[in-house]
Structure 1
Amino acid sequence: MEHTERYELIFRMSGAEDDVVTVRLTARTGAGGSPVYEDETGIVRAEISDRGEVRMLASGGHQVPGTPLLARPLSEGVSGRR
């Protein structure tokens, strides 16, 4: 199955501009069977389905990740990773 290589996760910040985080496809698969994406720091992690459904994943203890408003695929191509 082909997967989008990168997404922008857009988070609503109260009283400020939206926060946009770019995540890349990893070799991992989440509990729901969809690929896991992460930012370059490895702190922001998300399982993103082929329908664009996002499940944020904690990358450390005591982390409570927020839910993005939108996961926007970036047109960089797709990966044939299974």
Structure 2
Amino acid sequence: MTRGRRYALTFPGSPGAHAPQDVVVVEATGASGPGGHPVYADASGIVVAEISDLGEVRMLASGGHQSPQTPVHAEPLP
């Protein structure tokens, strides 16, 4: 997978609901995460993820009392 400056992260919908999946666009921050891979964040700074060059996603807490959900897909954007 080619490393991009932006990714669309797709999260599962609410369990038991017929709601669509949530998609959040994140951009490179210039920082590296605990695994040494680039860190990406959404415009609000709430959704923060480390994404490897293989497309593996590790969600990072951006504040206290968070338990971030892992996305089901990370798609590089142009």
Give the alignment of 1:2-81 within 5 angstroms. 3-14=3-14, 15=17, 16-75=19-78
Post-superposition Cα deviations, 1:38-69, rounded to whole Å, max 9, x if no partner, equal 00000000000000000000000000000000
> TM-score, structure 2 length as denominator?
0.91
CA RMSD of aligned residues (A): 1.1
How many residues are treated as equivalent by the alignment?
74
Q: What is the identity percentage for the equivalent residue pairs of Structure 1 and Structure 2?
A: 59
Q: How far apart are the structure 1 equivalents of 2:56 and 2:30?
A: 18
Q: Which runs of 5+ in 1 are unaligned?
A: 76-82
Given residue 40 of structure 1, which amino acid in structure 2 is its aligned partner?
A
> TM-score, structure 1 length as denominator?
0.87
